[in-house]
Amino acid sequence: MSNEMIANGVTEKLAAWLVAHRWEQMPEAAKAKAVEVVFDSVGAMTACSTLPEVKAIVGLMNEQGAHGDCTIIGHKGSTSVINAAMCNGGMAHGNEVDPVHATSVGGHVAAGPVPSALAIGESIGASGQDVLRAVVLGYEVGGRLMTIFYRERDYTKRRFYHTAVAANISSAVSAGILLGLDTQAMQVAMCLATYQAAGPDNMTKDPVHMGKTFQVAAANRNGVTAALLAHKGCYAPTDILDGTHGLFDAYLNNPEAGPELLDKLGDYYSITDVMHKRYSAGTPNQTYLGALFRLLKDNAIKPEQIEQIEIQMPTRGVKRVPTTRHASISALKVSAIAAATGKLDFYQLHGPQADGHLPHGIDPLGHRLHRKLHQFI
């Protein structure tokens, strides 16, 4: 049997499992993690609701005059389900504080299913249990997609922002579960969501967080739109995760990657591998920040005593965090702030920023340390 034949049928098999899988069949570990993920995500959305990139999206959506009963977290009034998904989706990855997926080396999986499940759930009056089921299943698809993308994508020649691409589909799955889609309609929803997926990964040039925030906001809008269209009976090809001309062919040039999505379905749950961040910074920064704070504390080192800081990290992290300009991702900036102040929190990273520099309010010592940082693979 050819690899192409093996890759056929993935979309249908995955959709059939998703729509049939009940809350009662899920292990307690997955259920408990779903609660943690929702709480952590809502906390991230609440904090990020104040950020300028999010305010711009919320302002634009409000200008459209859409009416509905859905909440925009941290803002007054209500709006349509699609607008709420977009606004809250932007907040869910409004900075780097949202939970990530350990198996896919830090993918922002939760930012896809959680905002969409909350928006659709509120719009139809779903129970908390139904929303949590949708989060588990949306996360299942997002986590599996992200794991494949992280391993298979070319980090230099064909790079794309996998978080945004996966979030389109995981959003559609969560929304579709709550809408009660059958197998074929779920296949259609995933296809329509994939049609809208983008993901250019040039955000290292972004002095703010708009590239990442907007792509995830749009992914939630797209996924909810796809599920609603499928719910109305719209049709699209039902094999978007299969073989030639499908998702993996388009993004990875590997049409046979799909069958991995079916591996150990119902035995392993992606959401059990969620990782909650200690610091409000990008995933590659978490480990060395913990080590830096430990060194400063155990040796009673004062900032003015520091002559140089060297950072070692995996190659993949080096391809992003040294050159990214936004303070919550840039290794040089978060390390300088941490060393100069002895802490690192959300508010230090999100004051008004001078383009390409540390946030305002960081004293000259922080700027001196910024110049003395060196990174090694």
- What mean pLDDT do residues 47-69 have? 92
Q: Which 3 state secondary structure label does DSSP give 311?
A: strand
Q: Which 3 state secondary structure label does DSSP give 44?
A: helix
- Spatial neighbors of 51 by CB under 8 A, at least 6 apart, are 94, 95, 209, 213, 350
Encoded tokens for 37: 């993920």
Output the CA–CA distances (angstroms, integers) from residue 51 to 130, 189, 220, in the order listed: 30, 31, 18
Encoded tokens for 148: 């494949």
- How do the domains of the chain map onto residue ranges? 3-275, 283-376
Q: Which 3 state secondary structure label does DSSP give 168?
A: helix
pLDDT band at 52 (very low <50, low <70, confident <90, very high): very high
Nearest to 94 by CA among 333, 353, 326: 326
Residue 158 has pLDDT above 80, yes or no: no
150-153 long-range contacts, CB within 8 A, separation 24+: 150/104, 150/105, 150/107, 152/248, 152/252, 152/254, 152/257, 153/251, 153/252
36-40, 160-164, 324-328, 357-361: segment of lowest average pLDDT: 357-361
Residue 376 has pLDDT above 50, yes or no: no
Residue 324 has pLDDT above 70, yes or no: no
Residue 60 has pLDDT above 80, yes or no: yes
Model pLDDT, residue 214:
94
Q: Which residues pair with 373 in a beta bridge?
A: 309
Model pLDDT, residue 231:
99
- What mean pLDDT do residues 296-300 have? 89
Q: Which 3 state secondary structure label does DSSP give 121?
A: helix
Domain spanning 3-275, CATH architecture:
Orthogonal Bundle (1.10)
- What mean pLDDT do residues 273-289 have? 82
Q: Which residues pair with 274 in a beta bridge?
A: 101
Nearest to 105 by CA among 369, 267, 283, 307: 283
Say how far residue 223 (Cα) sits from the centre of its chain.
14
% of the chain beyond a pLDDT of 70: 85
Encoded tokens for 58: 């919320």
Burial status of residue 376 (CB atoms within 10 A of its CB: 0-12, 13-18, 19 or more): exposed
Residue 160 has pLDDT above 50, yes or no: yes
Asked whether the CA dihedral 256, 257, 259, 263 is positive or negative, the reply is positive
- Residue-wise pLDDT for 189-228, tens only, equals 999 999 999 878 877 677 778 889 999 999 999 999 999 9
| More confident site: 368 or 23 | 23
- Spatial neighbors of 179 by CB under 8 A, at least 6 apart, are 120, 124, 227, 228, 230, 231
- What mean pLDDT do residues 32-44 have? 97
User: To the nearest 10°, the Cα dihedral for 336, 340, 346, 347?
Assistant: -120
Model pLDDT, residue 121:
98
Model pLDDT, residue 124:
98
- What mean pLDDT do residues 317-343 have? 71
Residue 330 has pLDDT above 80, yes or no: no
Residue 25 has pLDDT above 80, yes or no: yes
User: To the nearest 10°, the Cα dihedral for 115, 116, 121, 122?
Assistant: 60
Average confidence score pLDDT of the chain: 86
Nearest to 224 by CA among 181, 264, 186, 173: 173
Cα–Cα distance measured from residue 28 to residue 144, given in angstroms and rounded to the nearest whole number: 20
- C-beta of residue 375 within 8 angstroms of C-beta of residue 313: yes
Model pLDDT, residue 369:
55
For the whole model, what pTM was predicted? 0.88
Residue ranges of alpha helices (H) inside the chain are 3-7, 10-20, 28-48, 52-63, 81-92, 113-124, 128-152, 162-179, 183-196, 210-231, 247-252, 286-298, 315-318, 331-341, 346-349, 364-371
Model pLDDT, residue 224:
99
Model pLDDT, residue 167:
97
Model pLDDT, residue 284:
75
Cα–Cα distance measured from residue 55 to residue 215, given in angstroms and rounded to the nearest whole number: 15
Pairing label, strands 100-101, 274-275: antiparallel
Residues in the chain: 377
Amino acid, res. 20: A
- Residue-wise pLDDT for 229-253, tens only, equals 999 999 999 999 999 999 999 999 9
184-187 long-range contacts, CB within 8 A, separation 24+: 184/15, 184/238, 185/230, 185/231, 185/233, 186/15, 186/18, 186/19, 186/230, 187/11, 187/12, 187/15, 187/238, 187/239, 187/240
Model pLDDT, residue 338:
84
